[in-house]
Amino acid sequence: MSQFEAFIYGLVQGATEYLPVSSSAHLLLLPHILGENDPGLAFDVILHLGTLLATAIYFFNDWIEILKHPIPAKAFGPGDQRGDRPVMLSWIHLIVGTIPAVIAGLLLNHWIQDNMRSLYVLWVTIPGFGLLLWWIDKKKPSTRLAAEASVKDMFIIGCVQAMSLIPGVSRSGSTMTAARYLGFQRADAARLSFLLSMPVTAGAIVYEGRHWREVSDSFGSISPLIIGCVAALVSGAVAIHYLIKWVSKASFAIFAVYRVILGIVIAVFLK
């Protein structure tokens, strides 16, 4: 992989990790577009290091507040006002929300990697879960704030997040869909999704880190990996910022339309 191709991979990873359009689907499509072999899941995880840093930097103040509060204000109940500002989540919120994805990853990760990284899977999941997000976003009320999230809410969102191991489902799309189903306002659903992504992404990086030498040797140079990681960081931070601005004023419908169109594009590659 050239440095330019690594840059393209990083840009695509950063943008699509946060938009509800599935980064894994786009990373699976890129080799077909660029005429290259699939660099594999381990390289995808290295790109996720860039988006992990984007999440940590963009939500720095939120993470400081979370670190100050290991448990919710009301045990296993909604978060509430602490001092002069609301705390959205505690350690327990994130731990409970992350457990389902960890269990699913340990049990199913290798099987999914061997059997579901294909365009046929994307052809179903990309438009299907896009339409589900659109339908739930249209039907459900937008009354709840992120500061009202209970541990039960986070467990439900975490269970849906576990489904994102399947290519094309979209981690951000699945968690935003679940949060909207629970009645959270669109921008708050996005913030919950992004904050919950960090423990899962960090865990995946640590887990796949054992393949670091194998991946770096296959690339022949560390520079493409660094370039891809930095590109993912920058494009990821931009994607977070503008997605929150967008859903503060508009619906998720545009992403459903994009996913349906992408499903049609995938059908072309299947011929």
pLDDT tens-digit series, residues 135-182: 999 999 888 888 889 999 999 999 999 998 898 899 999 999 999 999
Kindly list the distances between the CA atom of residue 24 and the CA atoms of 21, 42, 45, 70, 148, in Å, as whole numbers in the listed order.
9, 12, 10, 32, 31
The torsion angles phi and psi of 175, rounded to 5 degrees, stand at -70, -35
- When pLDDT is averaged across residues 47-74 and rounded to a whole number, the result is 85
How many domains in the chain? Answer: 1
pLDDT of residue 10: 92
* Best-predicted range by mean pLDDT (77-91, 115-129, 210-224): 115-129
Find how far residue 8's CA is from the centre of its chain. 18
| pTM (2 d.p.) | 0.87
Please determine, for residue 117, whether its predicted confidence score (pLDDT) is greater than 80: no
Burial of 247 (0-12, 13-18, 19+ CB in 10 A): buried
Task: Tell me how far CA of residue 197 lies from CA of 30, 41, 47, 54, 142, in angstroms.
Answer: 23, 17, 14, 11, 22
| Full residue range of the structural domain in which residue 175 is found | 3-270
Distances (CA, A) of 45 to 114, 161, 181: 16, 17, 29
**Residues 232, 11 contacting (CB under 8 angstroms):** yes
Where is pLDDT greater, at 221 or 253? Answer: 253
Q: How far is CA 248 from CA 4, 54, 114, 251, 255, in A?
A: 34, 20, 39, 8, 15
Mean pLDDT across the stretch 61-87?
Answer: 62
Cα–Cα dist 242/158, whole Å: 24
Provide the pLDDT for residue 85: 46
Higher pLDDT, residue 134 or 114 = 134
Q: What is the pLDDT of residues 230-264, one digit of tens each?
A: 999 999 999 999 999 999 999 999 999 999 999 99
Which helix (DSSP H) or strand (DSSP E) does residue 189 occupy? Answer: helix 186-208
Question: Which one of 3-7, 70-74, 181-185 scores highest in mean pLDDT?
Answer: 181-185
DSSP code per residue over 54-69: HHHHHTHHHHHHHHH-
**C-alpha distances out from residue 153 to 5, 70, 103, 184, Å:** 40, 17, 18, 10
Comparing C-alpha atoms, which of 242, 240, 259 is closest to residue 56? 240
State the Cα–Cα distance between residues 43 and 37, nearest whole angstrom. Answer: 12
Q: Which helix (H) or strand (E) holds 98?
A: helix 91-115
DSSP label at 31? Answer: H
Side chain identity at residue 34, one-letter code: L
The average confidence (pLDDT) of the chain is 85
